[in-house]
């Protein structure tokens, strides 16, 4: 009997009637009502970077609540937002000079798209096309579904989605096709922007591509006066090994979106960073050139304080060493699966490891997904495969023992699957 009034996200209630109650969190763990500790091997949907309830971030939140709640963010400003903007510009790829606040990854991407079209509109040279990459994911609003991969997730809403130009994913050995497709689209002179997840496409199946492809896409965009929007909502904050994934390609995007790890995962906050050219195109005594965007909770001071504390953690703690260590431990664990006939496409980008369980029919709705999830759940592991794609994205504080347990479970699950017992 269902007693909850809550309609949960990405949940088929007819198949999953029971929710497990979490009564607390600590480090890499969720603690349930029976006191069981569950390894949060996906960082609570990719947001928790250092670990749950990092003391420095929690303390900053407590302190901020003594002074602030929500404050209107037009005509009035506050220190947490000002300081955070400065701090972000210092560490972001060079050339990004302005910070626009919002509250989720989806809104950060919506803001980016509006900035890109607003830029060309205000310059009096309107461009209307947005290029995206096959398998991309940028959120679940109407706008961000429009720029994401079409499929079972958004089939019902297709009539509301706007059209975009899709580049083929740069599969190994076929990278040139992606570049050629982009070059051809840019040649029309109508491409306002390429919106892309740098190095790793997350929700689309943890698909990685080389930094050299990203660098070349940036060069093509530049040549044709098109903007590059980097969606670093997931890849930011060390996930791919560097603070931002763009660093590995040696590029600066024209617009950069980031959210998930911005507050270390403690509170919702997002930013869209842009170059002076884009800001300046909106700077005018003509009020019609204003950037018309806001949301009620823009630049929430407590969330900004949490993000400032996150910047301190990055400066004062050996975060990069933890990331390097996790990267190396993944590499060692994954090596046991090299050449393993049960898996396809074993891959790793920094702190994220993924492998495809070989199944007759893959894809997000692959029957094996929920069965794997149940198997891991029984073992106290929060691992949610994307169909047959099993991935681990734990907080950077994960211990050797916990990480080892996760890999053991993957091994065991694959054996059971092969034996027809999963
Ligand atoms: C999660 C995600 C988003 C959407 O962020 P929300 O905070 O869930 O709205 C956008 N882009 C990427 C790459 C993401 O992984």
pLDDT band at 367 (very low <50, low <70, confident <90, very high): confident
Read off the CATH number of the domain in which 76 is found. 3.40.640.10
Q: Is the CB of 202 under 6 A from ligand 1?
A: yes
pLDDT band at 167 (very low <50, low <70, confident <90, very high): very high
Same structural domain, 110 and 142: yes
- Judge whether 22 lies within some domain: no
Same structural domain, 264 and 204: yes
pLDDT band at 3 (very low <50, low <70, confident <90, very high): confident
Same structural domain, 242 and 363: no
Give the end of a domain, one of 316, 334, 352: 316
Cβ(32)–Cβ(23) below 8 Å: yes
Same structural domain, 305 and 334: no
What's the pLDDT tens digit per position in 192-201? Answer: 999 999 999 9
**Residue of 200, 203, 240 with the most ligand 1 atoms within 8 Å of its CB, for mutation:** 203
Distance of CA 33 from the midpoint of ligand 1 (Å) = 29
pLDDT band at 32 (very low <50, low <70, confident <90, very high): very high
Per-residue three-class SS string for 197-227: CCCEECCCCCEECCHHHHHHHHHHHHHCCCE
Is the pLDDT at 313 greater than 90, yes or no? yes
Same structural domain, 310 and 325: no
What's the number of domains the chain is made of? 2
- Cβ-based neighbours of 78, under 8 Å, separated by 6 or more: 68, 71, 299, 301, 304
Residue nearest to atom 15 of ligand 1 (CA): 234
What's the pLDDT tens digit per position in 66-98? Answer: 999 999 999 999 999 999 999 999 999 999 999
Same structural domain, 257 and 352: no
Q: Is the CB of 259 under 6 A from ligand 1?
A: yes
Sheet architecture: strand order including 22-26: 22-26, 29-32, 37-40, 381-382
Read off the CATH number of the domain in which 324 is found. 3.90.1150.10
pLDDT band at 1 (very low <50, low <70, confident <90, very high): low
For 348, the domain range is 320-418
Q: What is the DSSP letter of 56?
A: H
Distance of CA 287 from the midpoint of ligand 1 (Å) = 31
Atom of ligand 1 nearest to the CA of 268: 7
């Amino acid at each position: 009997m269902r007693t909850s009034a809550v309609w949960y996200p990405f949940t088929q209630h007819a198949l999953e009637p029971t929710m497990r109650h979490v009564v607390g969190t600590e480090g890499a763990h969720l603690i349930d009502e029976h006191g069981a500790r569950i390894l949060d091997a996906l960082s609570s949907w990719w947001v928790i970077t250092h670990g749950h309830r990092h003391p420095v971030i929690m303390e900053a939140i407590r302190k901020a609540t003594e002074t602030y709640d929500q404050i209107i963010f037009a005509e009035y400003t506050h220190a947490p937002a000002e300081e955070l903007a400065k701090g972000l510009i210092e560490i972001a790829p060079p050339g990004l000079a302005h910070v626009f606040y919002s509250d989720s990854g989806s809104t950060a991407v919506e803001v980016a798209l509006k900035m890109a079209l607003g830029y060309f509109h205000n310059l009096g040279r309107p461009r209307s096309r947005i290029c995206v990459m096959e398998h991309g994911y940028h959120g679940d609003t109407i706008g961000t579904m429009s720029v994401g991969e079409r499929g079972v997730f958004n089939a019902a809403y297709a009539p509301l989605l706007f059209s975009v130009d899709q580049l083929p994913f740069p599969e190994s050995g076929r990278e040139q096709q992606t570049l050629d497709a982009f070059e051809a689209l840019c040649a029309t002179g109508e491409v306002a922007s390429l919106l892309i997840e740098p190095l790793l496409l997350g929700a689309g199946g943890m698909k990685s591509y080389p930094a050299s492809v990203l660098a070349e896409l940036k060069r093509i965009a530049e040549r044709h006066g098109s903007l590059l929007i980097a969606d670093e909502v997931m890849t930011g904050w060390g996930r791919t090994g560097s603070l931002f994934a763009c660093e590995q390609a040696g590029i600066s995007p024209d617009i950069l979106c980031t959210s998930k790890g911005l507050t270390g995962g403690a509170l919702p906050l997002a930013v869209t960073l842009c170059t002076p050219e884009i800001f300046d195109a909106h700077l005018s005594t003509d009020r019609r050139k204003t950037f018309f965007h806001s949301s009620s909770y823009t630049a929430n001071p407590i969330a900004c304080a949490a993000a400032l504390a996150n910047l301190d953690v990055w400066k004062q703690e050996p975060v990069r060493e933890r990331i390097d260590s996790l990267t190396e431990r993944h590499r060692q664990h994954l090596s046991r699966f090299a050449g393993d006939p049960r898996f396809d496409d074993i891959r790793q980008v920094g702190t994220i490891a993924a492998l495809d369980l070989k199944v007759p029919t893959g894809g997000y709705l692959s029957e094996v997904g929920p069965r794997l999830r149940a198997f891991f759940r029984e073992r106290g592991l929060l691992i949610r495969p994307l169909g047959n794609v099993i991935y681990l994205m734990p907080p950077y504080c994960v211990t050797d023992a916990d990480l080892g347990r996760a890999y053991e479970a993957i091994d065991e699950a694959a054996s059971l699957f092969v034996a027809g017992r999963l």
